[in-house]
Amino acid sequence: MRQVGVEAGLRFAATRVELTPPPGSPLAGYGARGDAVAAGAHDPLEAVLLSLRDARSAGERVTWVVVDAVAVDGGLARAVADAVGAALDCPPDAVLVCATHTHSGPAGWTRRVHPAFPESADEAMRATLVRRVGQAAAELVGTEREVRLIVADGPAPGIGTNRTDPAGPHDASVGLLAFIEESGAVGGLLVDHACHATVLGHDNLRWSADWPGAARRTLAAALATGRPFGDGRDSGPRPAPTVAVVQGSAGDASPRFVRRAQSFGEVDRLGGLLAAHALEALLGARPEAAGPGPKVRRDTFTLPTRPLPALAEARRLVAEAEAAWRAVATAEGPGPRERIARTRHEGAVLLASVAEVGLPPTLELPVTVVALGDDAWLHLPVELFASLGLEIRAGSPFARTRVVGYTDGYFGYVADRAAHEAGVYEASASLFDAAAGRRLARASIGLLRRVRAEAWPPGSALGRADLAAAAAAGKMP
């Protein structure tokens, strides 16, 4: 495992703010819930802010804002970025707004997540979220402390699998960026893993951050009093670290085949398991003084939307999928196979609805790369399938690349060819076909290569060494 640290000059600040709405408004994430509203909260819904600034000459800043929401649409992401940028006196483009994709958060925070869905946004709820996050960002001013960094990753089995076929493609890894204070304490963590936050089912009517919230709580508690990277001389009190959990290429990943129940106890178990994997990766690493500060580079990818079937054909597919679902439900009752069959029917219904109203010919997707030396985080506004995320990671010129979805907008599923051929829910519900998925993967690799070349120009000593290593690894353009 390679560890990367950054020399003195990097300053870090973090906070979290509770956003839990009162009961009585609809939950997001499951069509099967209908119009059911929240009866209360099991655990708090939060926004976590992690901000890293290079205090050296011409240094940049990056701030992650991670919200316990099913998605953040483009308008909400822009409003949050504007509020945080104003509070921190930095460009809004330096702010990334991510969703944990919990299916037990409010529908009112997000504009409709699919053309076939009704509008769900509640403007008052959205304004409250933006105001609270902006206030939290303002509280960061004057709290920065100098840090070193650790970037690490490792295996993280057991939280989820491919949600159609347990043997199918799945990125069962965890990545982390740790902010290490002078005392050796962990001041903050950015953790990523690819798995739908759907331990809790559609019958749950209580606000919850699902397994990402449990992972945050477990990690913060485990690191609250220790200084695992210190020399033992500083033993005074310190606050618990601030932990953010972001989603990876989770379009076809969920706990469906590994969860033992759809309960809050199971939320704690799977969140705790992810925390244990993250701790193993963290404690096997160490901070080192090397590398530049963060670089944030944005682009916009234009993707063509999918060809749509004739309405009569789309309705035939709905009837076929419904018959298959009811047959499985009658023969087997509730379980993974019934859930897969039911969601295939739901996907066919969505496709028929889109066939009736149509789609624009193209959509504009905001994409962002955050680079720290030889490590990169690619942020996409979609639910990317694992095979495509793994293709991006393999083709990236960075030594380590983490793919983060559900960021700065929401454009639904981007499925691979196998999913489209099989007619699974995610492919039927997607606004894109398999060719668009490959196009997105290639464009993402191209952006990573451009950012890598800027970070380590080929004419520099590090750039020449990097080009030689890339050529040896078969990662040259």
Question: 196 and 160 in contact (C-beta within 8 Å)?
Answer: yes
Question: The whole model's pTM is what?
Answer: 0.92
Helix, strand, coil shares of the chain, percent, nearest 5, are 35, 25, 40
N-to-C CA span, the chain: 26
21 compared with 317, residue with greater pLDDT:
21
Helix axes 336-357 and 311-332, enclosed angle (nearest 10): 170
Among all chains, which residue has been given the structure tokens 């000593």? 461
**In the predicted model, is pLDDT for residue 231 greater than 90?**
no
Only one residue has tokens 């196998």, namely 418
**Cα–Cα dist 166/122, whole Å:** 37
User: pLDDT tens digits for 6-52?
Assistant: 345 899 999 999 999 999 999 999 988 988 999 999 999 999 999 99
pLDDT at 153: 97
Residue 473 has pLDDT above 90, yes or no: no
82-97 pLDDT per residue, tens: 999 999 999 999 999 9
Question: Residue 475 pLDDT > 70, yes or no?
Answer: no
Q: What is the mean pLDDT of residues 166-174?
A: 96
User: What's the CA gap between 294 and 304, in Å, rounded?
Assistant: 32
Name the least confident of 112-121, 231-240, 330-339. Answer: 231-240
**Which residues pair with residue 11 across a beta bridge?**
53, 146
What are residue 366's DSSP bridge partners? 300
**Angle, in degrees to the nearest 10, between helices 434-455 and 386-395:** 30
CA distance linking residue 364 with residue 354, whole number of Å: 18
pLDDT at 454 over 60: yes
The string of pLDDT tens digits covering residues 355-369 is 988 999 999 999 999
Neighbour-count burial for 278-302, b at 16+ CB within 10 Å, e otherwise: bbebbbebebeeebbbbbbbeeebe
Tell me the pLDDT of the chain averaged across its residues: 92
Identify the band that residue 474 occupies on the pLDDT scale cut at 50, 70 and 90: low
Cα 261 to the chain's mean position, in Å?
24
**Cα 121–Cα 414–Cα 194 angle in degrees, nearest 5:** 85
pLDDT, tens digit, 9 for 90 and up, residues 381-433: 999 999 999 999 999 999 999 999 999 999 999 999 999 998 888 998 899 99
- In this prediction, residues 112-137 reach a mean pLDDT of 94
pLDDT in tens, 38-49: 999 999 999 999
Could you tell me if 175 and 401 are in contact, meaning their C-beta atoms sit under 8 angstroms apart?
Answer: no
Nearest residue to 56 (alpha-carbon basis) of 96, 14, 91, 7 = 7
